[in-house]
């Protein structure tokens, strides 16, 4: 169902949406039946157990009626704990941060969502933490934008040809040239983004916080390039050291998750991932503090930074277990890809036949892919 047909019924995350809520009620009833009665087939009865609901932050906030969500800063802004922007700071990444003792204390809703019936106490643990939106489309992107703009602010990427001048626009364009060359020659990949500018880095002046809305696939390319750039002989300084540590932490974390089994990590891998997140989060906050002290506007402390801290806390809590969930197990990257492809093939059939035709075309697409014809 296209969101155009029900979005006019949105009345805020906390109150929900009449159409989405009735869909969730119907889904919950079916899910409970699949869990308790099971699904009988000729091969036996299967019982389906629903462990979490995956989705981006707005989708999760909508289906779970979250009164505490990413839009609420400086008020309580986290479905999983009581962190806010003042009393229980969500920006605290220290081991003894006060929000840690509030995890799971209160449910994030006042108006009980239907999905709460699939959980033990209706708590937000049922909402999966999605690395794809939290890192690739979240704090990873925010970090990279700030790092690039800070390097430019510090005087990097001055074009060798004086004809281009030394202005900010010329330096951004020089940085992109370096990035593009690196991705093509070293990584042998083509970035999705075709240029960098003040506009697409959201860096319109000294008071605007850099960020970007590039595709998720550009995040690892930009991270690899930044690591390479900072590995070149440069004049060392605190900002460079912290940025390098930050980039290494993020890269190690993503690499460890991507190389591990899709669902479970070994204890060694989990330890590596926790240490990498320690490195990223601690140095990110150091960068934000240093920039703030110097009167510079870089390294935004966003709700997604805090949500990533929850990923670290959860991973650390599982270190002694035999089976440790790979944080990437709940990444929606593949789900988004699925929706994207389904959306493309659903555009051509007649509207009345669309659901059936989409399913049939999906079967054909799958078969072609399995045969290697796609």
**Residues at the site binding Zn ion, with contacts judged by CB under 5 A:** 78, 80-81, 83
Between 119 and 248, whose beta carbon lies closer to Zn ion? 119
Closest approach, Cβ 173 to Zn ion, in A, equals 39
82 vs 136, which CB is nearer to Zn ion? Answer: 82
Q: Shortest distance, CB of residue 137 to Zn ion, whole angstroms?
A: 19
DSSP H or E stretch at residue 46: strand 44-46
Residue 7 neighbours by CB under 8 Å, 6+ apart:
17
Distances (CA, A) of 74 to 15, 82, 84, 116: 20, 12, 6, 26
Taking the least distance from each CB to Zn ion, the nearer of 105 and 374 is 105
**Shortest distance, CB of residue 61 to Zn ion, whole angstroms?**
14
**Smallest distance, Zn ion to C-beta of residue 344, A:** 36
Q: Where are the alpha helices (H) located in 186-266, listed in sequence order?
A: 218-230, 238-259
Nearer to Zn ion, 80 or 196 (CB): 80
Cα atoms in the Cβ-side hemisphere of radius 13 Å centred on 228: 16
Secondary structure of the chain: what % helix, strand, coil (to 5)? 55, 5, 40
Task: Assign 39 to helix, strand or coil.
Answer: strand
Q: Which residues contact 236 (CB under 8 A, 6 or more apart)?
A: none
Q: How far apart are CA 224 and CA 204, in angstroms?
A: 25
Give 83 or 274: the residue with its C-beta nearer to Zn ion.
83
Of 83 and 134, which CB lies nearer to Zn ion in the complex structure?
A: 83
Structure tokens at 224: 């690899």
The residue nearest Zn ion at its CB is 78
Minimum CB distance to Zn ion, residue 297 (Å):
25
Q: Measured from the CB of residue 53, what is the shortest distance to Zn ion in angstroms? A: 17
Angle at 247 between CA 156 and CA 320, to 5 degrees: 170
Q: Are strands 264-265 and 39-41 parallel, antiparallel or unpaired?
A: unpaired
Decide if 64 contacts 108 (C-beta within 8 A). Answer: yes
CB closer to Zn ion, 78 vs 175: 78
Smallest distance, Å, CB 68 to Zn ion?
Answer: 9
- Decide whether 57 or 78 has the Cβ nearer to Zn ion: 78
Name the nearest CA neighbour of 60 among 322, 335, 267, 342.
335
Q: Per the structure block, which two tokens stand in for 351? A: 């509207």
Residue 81 CB, shortest distance to Zn ion, in Å, is 3
């Amino acid at each position: 169902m296209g969101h155009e047909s029900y979005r006019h019924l949105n009345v805020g995350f906390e109150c929900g949406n009449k159409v989405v809520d009735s869909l969730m009620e119907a889904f919950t009833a079916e899910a409970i039946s699949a869990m308790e009665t099971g699904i009988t087939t000729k091969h036996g009865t299967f019982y389906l157990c629903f462990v979490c609901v995956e989705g981006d932050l707005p989708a999760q906030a909508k289906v779970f009626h979250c009164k505490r969500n990413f839009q609420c800063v400086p008020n309580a802004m986290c479905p999983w704990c009581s962190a806010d922007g003042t009393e229980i700071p969500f920006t605290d990444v220290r081991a003894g941060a006060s929000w840690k003792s509030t995890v799971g204390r209160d449910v994030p809703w006042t108006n009980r969502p239907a999905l709460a019936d699939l959980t033990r106490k209706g708590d937000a643990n049922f909402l999966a933490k999605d690395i794809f939106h939290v890192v690739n489309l979240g704090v990873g992107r925010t970090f990279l934008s700030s790092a690039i703009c800070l390097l430019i602010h510090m005087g990097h990427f001055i074009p060798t040809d004086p004809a281009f001048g030394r202005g900010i626009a010329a330096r951004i364009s020089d940085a992109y040239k370096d990035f593009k060359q690196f991705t093509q020659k070293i990584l042998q990949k083509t970035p999705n983004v075709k240029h960098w500018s003040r506009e697409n880095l959201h860096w319109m002046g000294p008071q605007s916080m850099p960020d970007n809305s590039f595709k998720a696939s550009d995040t690892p390319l930009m991270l690899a390039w930044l690591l390479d750039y900072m590995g070149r002989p440069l004049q060392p300084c605190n900002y460079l050291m912290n940025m390098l540590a930050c980039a290494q932490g993020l890269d190690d974390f993503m690499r460890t998750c991507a190389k591990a089994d899709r669902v479970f990590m070994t204890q060694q891998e989990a330890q590596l991932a926790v240490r990498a997140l320690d490195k990223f989060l601690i140095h990110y906050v150091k960068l934000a503090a240093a920039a703030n002290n110097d009167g510079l506007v870089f390294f935004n402390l966003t709700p997604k930074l805090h949500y990533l801290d929850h990923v670290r806390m959860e991973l650390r809590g599982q270190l002694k277990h035999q089976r440790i969930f790979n944080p990437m197990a709940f990444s929606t990257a593949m789900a988004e890809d699925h929706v994207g492809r389904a959306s493309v093939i659903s555009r051509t059939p007649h509207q009345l036949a669309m659901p059936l035709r989409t399913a049939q075309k999906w079967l054909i697409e799958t078969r072609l892919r399995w045969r290697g014809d796609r």
